[in-house]
Amino acid sequence: MDSNTPFPRAGMKPGTGRTRELLDRLGCPDKKLNILHVAGSNGKGSVCAYLSHILREGGLRTGTFTSPAVFDRGECFAIDCLPAPRDILQKYTDEARSAAAGMADAPSPFELDTCTALAMFAGEGCTHCVLECGLGGLEDATNAVSRKSVAVITSIALEHTDILGSTIADICRHKGGIIRDCPAVVPDDLPDEAAAYFAARGAIAAGGGLQILSRTEDCRRFTYGGSDYAVRMYGDGQLKNAAVAIECAKLIGIPQDAVARGLYAARLPGRVQPLRAGGRLFILDGAHNPGAFGPLMQFAGGVEGTKSLVYSCLSDKDVEGCAAVLSHVFGEVNIAPAPDGRGMDTAAIAAAFEKNHVKAHIFADIPAALAAASGDIVAVCGTFTILKEAKQWIGQGQ
């Protein structure tokens, strides 16, 4: 079976038991790694990227497991910040599937991927692993690991309330479930209730005293803890993500010069990613909840020209909240269904935008929505699942 073929499952299964059993069957690769475990409502991908590059610059062979893939599945299984080669990923995917074949309770695709990643990182000589939670934390497959160096909570917001609970306290309990016998780092701008919760858990609050020195389109310079740094990921919010990574690096003992190099080197696909084609600027952004659109709004709002939005989202997202935020910059939206039948009904999306006085049009697919977009600047957002198709359309010269 090819490594790009999903492992069969009946649906999402909360709990860590299946993952732990499969890790045991694979020889407990998690016990051979120093794991930095990252949870949060927004900012997980950015913090994982910063940490991975910092560790690499510090001379530590590092594996990074994140999700979802934006353009290629290998992105989710990186070694020293490079996507895993197909043959290596195939080898460990086959090993994990073989080990799982005898399990009475079959693992889900994400559980299998988690074990594949950890087995690959240990098998390929990594000493450190940056491990991103898939959903929540407490009952997420990644929380089956037996040892951690640091736990990181990047942000707290109401999300996946049908699974994680409908209050900030509920969300904190799930995200905070990754803090087990290890130090923890959180940003210092959490909601008051969340800040108190994590302070009681002994978490380090990152970001105090941070000052922006300068901003350009492709770089932000800032000072933190008496040292100067620069990041190239867009949005002022990235500086708080960087501060979280800096505090983690201190706990691990990475030299400041390596930290600075790592922060500057970090980039992420599909996060306010500008592409120019046909005389227009396209912006690909996987943001999918109201609190995540700040960088896109800041970037698009600062560019002169007419603006169009191409949007889709999955069925469990707060589309009304997203539409309310995006309406401040975009007056027109082209809507298309997300792939794999997981998308929200396009009429429901259109209604949410029209409620916010944004003119909405519905199309059969993303290429059609892009072809009809009239703006000088076209932002594609709402879910990572549409970005690969959008990039292909843009790259083919429209």
**For residues 326 and 352, is the Cβ–Cβ distance under 8 A?**
no
Annotation: CATH topology of 17-265:
UDP-N-acetylmuramoyl-L-alanine:D-glutamate ligase (3.40.1190)
pLDDT, residue 5, reads: 40
Give me the residue spans of the domains in the chain. Answer: 17-265, 273-395
**Bridge partners, residue 187, by sequence:** 206
**pLDDT > 80? residue 217:** no
- Mean pLDDT over residues 160-185, rounded? 84
Within this chain, domains 17-265 and 273-395 share the same CATH topology: no
3-state secondary structure of 283: strand
Pairing of strands 77-79, 62-65: antiparallel
137 vs 323, which has greater pLDDT? 323
**For residues 244 and 230, is the Cβ–Cβ distance under 8 A?**
no
Rounded distance, CA 149 to CA 160, Å?
A: 27
Rounded distance, CA 207 to CA 225, Å?
A: 9
Lowest mean pLDDT, pick from 57-66, 135-144, 389-398: 389-398
pLDDT, residue 396, reads: 85
**pLDDT > 60? residue 122:** yes
Query: How many other C-beta atoms lie within 10 A of the C-beta of residue 35?
Result: 25
**pLDDT > 80? residue 10:** no
pLDDT, residue 9, reads: 33
Pairing of strands 219-224, 82-83: unpaired
- Mean pLDDT over residues 242-248, rounded? 98
**pLDDT > 80? residue 246:** yes
pLDDT, residue 2, reads: 46
pLDDT, residue 1, reads: 40
Q: Which residues of 242-265 are buried (b: 16+ CB within 10 A; e: fewer)?
A: bbbbbbbbeebebeeebbbbbbbb
H/E element, 307:
strand 307-311
**pLDDT > 50? residue 208:** yes
**For residues 154 and 241, is the Cβ–Cβ distance under 8 A?**
yes
Phi and psi at residue 296, to the nearest 5°: -65, -45
pLDDT, residue 311, reads: 98
Q: For residue 195, which amino acid is it?
A: A
Lowest mean pLDDT, pick from 59-63, 179-183, 285-289: 285-289
Q: For residue 398, which amino acid is it?
A: Q
Confidence of residue 165 (pLDDT cuts 50, 70, 90): low
Annotation: CATH topology of 273-395:
Protein-Tyrosine Phosphatase; Chain A (3.90.190)
**For residues 169 and 197, is the Cβ–Cβ distance under 8 A?**
yes
Confidence of residue 356 (pLDDT cuts 50, 70, 90): very high
269-294, pLDDT tens digit by residue? Answer: 898 999 999 899 999 999 888 988 98
**Mean predicted lDDT score pLDDT of the chain:** 92
124-150, pLDDT tens digit by residue? Answer: 999 999 999 998 889 999 999 999 999
Confidence of residue 236 (pLDDT cuts 50, 70, 90): confident
81-102, pLDDT tens digit by residue? Answer: 999 999 999 999 999 999 999 8
**Bridge partners, residue 106, by sequence:** none
> Which among 41-50, 69-78, 92-101, 132-141 has the top mean pLDDT?
92-101
**For residues 330 and 357, is the Cβ–Cβ distance under 8 A?**
no
103-120, pLDDT tens digit by residue? Answer: 999 999 999 999 999 999
- Mean pLDDT over residues 335-359, rounded? 93
Indicate the length of the chain as a whole number. Answer: 398
pLDDT, residue 158, reads: 61
Phi and psi at residue 73, to the nearest 5°: -60, -30
pLDDT, residue 111, reads: 97
**For residues 61 and 125, is the Cβ–Cβ distance under 8 A?**
yes
